[in-house]
Amino acid sequence: MDVLRILGKTFNFNMTVRRAGEWGVPINLAKNAWTGVIGSVYNGTADIGIAHVTLTYLRLRVMDHCPVFINLPHVLSAKPKRISTLYNLVKPFDKIIWFLLPALLSLVIVVFIKVNQAG
């Protein structure tokens, strides 16, 4: 806990530590309703959950986990929503870059043509 408090001060974030009564049991699979740590992370009342959780098929359908190589608690986070591959291609650059890129390309082509005509 002391390490988390030091990290919080260093990186300027707040945290609240709560104990869940259980790891997580599905209440309603059709609605992905869960109890415990998994339920708190899945419905957004917690950003992450740390627990000794047995990774089952049902739990892995709704949670991502940080793999561990020794017997320590798993760090759980909600599965990210799927986004299109086109968005993944466009996402790294700001909108201004996408507006300037065609202009720069046009300028390079014009300069290239002028240099070839002069020489």
pLDDT digits (tens, 9 = 90+) for 35-71: 888 888 888 888 888 777 777 888 878 877 776 655 5
Give the pLDDT of residue 73: 61
Residue 3 has pLDDT above 70, yes or no: yes
Q: What is the pTM of this model?
A: 0.49
- The distance from CA 104 to its chain's CA centroid, rounded to whole angstroms, is 33
Burial class (CB in 10 A: 0-12, 13-18, 19+), 35: middle
Higher pLDDT, 6 or 90: 6
Partners of 77 in the β-ladder: 64
How far is C-alpha 98 from the chain's CA centre? 24
pLDDT digits (tens, 9 = 90+) for 62-117: 877 776 655 556 666 666 666 666 776 777 778 888 888 899 999 999 999 999 88
Lookup: tokens for 104: 């720069």
